[in-house]
Every structure is written in C-alpha cells, then in structure tokens.
Amino acid sequence: MLRGTPRGWYVGFGVAFALVMLLMLAVTYLLVRGVGIWGVNIPVAWGVAIVNFVWWIGIGHAGTLISAILLLLRQQWRTSINRFAEAMTLLAVACAGLFPLLHLGRPWFFYWLMPYPNTMGLWPQFRSPLVWDVFAITTYGTVSLLFWYVGLIPDLATLRDRAQRRLAQLIYGFLAMGWRGSTRHWRRYETAYFLIAALATPLVVSVHTVVSFDFAIGILPGWHSTIFPPYFVAGALFSGFAGADHRHSSPHRVRAGRLHHPASPGQHGQDHARQRAVRRLESQPI
C-alpha cells in the first residue's frame, strides 16, 4: 500500500511540468501582445479562452456531482472515489478561473469585476455575463473548497495523530479543528457534510448555466441559443466523468493513496470485517 514513487511518475510529471512552462511562455506572450494573438476581435471577443474555460468548469462539475449526489443518495462506494473527484474539482476550478482573467485584455485590472467601494466611484455592470461569471466561479470555488475540506476533517485528525514532525503536527492539528471522533463530532460532521452536498448539487446546474450564458446571452448568430444551458450541463457531466475516471486510474492514485489510507476514519460505510482488518494493520508497526 505504501510503496515509493515509481519512476514513471517522475517521467509523467516531467512532461506535465514542461507543458506548464510552455503555458507560462504563452501567457507571457499574451500579456505582452494582447488577446489579438488568439485571432479574436469584436464581435467574437473570446475564442480559445472561452473554450478552455467551459472545458475546465465542466470537468470540475462532474467531480462535484459524483461526490455530492452519491452522498445524498447514500451510495457507500463513493468513499473510494470522492476525494479524487473533489480534488479534481478544486484544481479544475483553478484552471478554469485562469481563462476569463486572461481574456480580459488588461488582466491586471481583474479586480474591477469585484463590487467594492473604490475611489473611481464605479460599480461592476451586474447586467453583464462577465460579472455573472465572476460570481459563479467564486461561489463554486468556495463551495467546492468547503465540501472538500469538511470531508477531509476526520482524515486530517488521523494525519495529526500519526504525524512525527512537530510542524506537521501543528498544521494538521490546526486543520483538524480539534477532532476527537466523538459521536457529537460525527453527528455534526454528517449534518454539515450532507447540507453542503445538498447546496453543491443545484450549484452545478446554476454555475454551468451561467457559463453557457456567456454564449447564449449575446445575440450573435451561432452564440445565441436557448438550448445551451441544459446542453452545457449535460456535456460537462460526460467530460467530467471521464476526467474522474482518468484521475482514478492515473499514477496520482499512488500518492493520493497515502491520504487515503483505509484506516482513516473519514471513510464511511466500511463493513466491520474490513475495520477489523484495518485494526490489525494499525497494530503493526508502519
């Protein structure tokens, strides 16, 4: 279970790292030259950026749906995939957030999209889909982070209890929020977790509906289509399920496996025989 990082992982990581560096170069060139390098112009104000944006948001949505809906339906097997799915969602939202920022033309003024009292006396235009985007992404990012974090709390307590180094003990101890495995803790945890899942599920539909409004609200031919909101949500689920499946079967699994030690108490629904096996495991020196 706890084997070392295989050589193939470093190869894969190297390839991915090189591609990220290529992205950095491309972004630098974009910032220097402007969005014209994408071949976009008015009335089509964003092309490659909105494609990437929609794609990443869709990937993220499936992670939320897998995790939240399976929890709401009390499907116990979700514990084998929910952490991958939620982590995938968080990272996908971060990637998605890049592209509306990059397409702004002057991304260094992105904070003008936030409603805050400023010396210019200006407010964001709440009738613009670009502002809806900002609120959709920040809301979705916040809920995804909370969902992931609340589910992680019992596992963070396990990490705290097993940490050897002082710094790790302090960090995990802080993040575990005083978890002791009391029945009261479990009851509060399950109530809160369930409620966040119930909030996250309709959010998937509303966020991707807003994403589709980036197209559908414009009256440009080819962009304006009333079928887009349901079409986008359905498309997101297909691509995202593929993403979660891929993540599940990637070398990443080996590393995530450490967090996902079956002895961690956050795993619901293990039968008692498995728990006994886990206890035997725990009694052995690690």
Residue type at 170 in one-letter notation: L
DSSP state at residue 235 = H
Site string for other proteins, 200-219 (x = CB under 8 A): ----------x--x---xxx
Nearer to other proteins among residue 111 and residue 167 (C-beta): 111
DSSP state at residue 208 = H
Nearer to other proteins among residue 45 and residue 171 (C-beta): 45
Q: How far is the CB of 226 from other proteins (least distance, A)?
A: 10
Q: How far is the CB of 1 from other proteins (least distance, A)?
A: 18
Contacting other proteins (CB under 8 A), which of 3, 165, 166, 180? 180
Residue 125 near other proteins by CB under 8 A: yes
Locate 244 and state its tokens.
């979660």
Residue 263 near other proteins by CB under 8 A: yes
Q: Which of 191, 188, 203, 185 is nearest to 69 (CA)?
A: 203
Q: Residue written as tokens 């709440």?
A: 126
Residue 177 near other proteins by CB under 8 A: no
Nearer to other proteins among residue 121 and residue 285 (C-beta): 121
| Per-residue buried b or exposed e for 68-105, using 16+ beta carbons within 10 Å of the residue's own CB | bebbeeeeeebbebbbbbbbbbbbbbebbbbbbebbbe
Give CA–CA dist 120/242, Å, rounded. Answer: 46
Residue 130 near other proteins by CB under 8 A: yes
Contacting other proteins (CB under 8 A), which of 124, 173, 235, 251? 124
SS3 sequence of 121-143 = CCCCCCCCHHHHHHHHHHHHHHH
Q: How many CB atoms lie within 10 A of CB 27?
A: 13
Nearer to other proteins among residue 43 and residue 257 (C-beta): 43
Give CA–CA dist 218/87, Å, rounded. Answer: 33
Nearer to other proteins among residue 125 and residue 249 (C-beta): 125
Residue 182 near other proteins by CB under 8 A: yes
Nearer to other proteins among residue 164 and residue 183 (C-beta): 183
Locate 121 and state its tokens.
């006396």
Q: How far is the CB of 10 from other proteins (least distance, A)?
A: 35
Query: Under the rule (CB under 8 A), what is the footprint of other proteins?
Result: 35, 40, 42-43, 45-46, 103-105, 115, 121-130, 132, 180-184, 186-192, 195, 199, 210, 213, 217-219, 263, 265, 267-268, 270, 272, 275
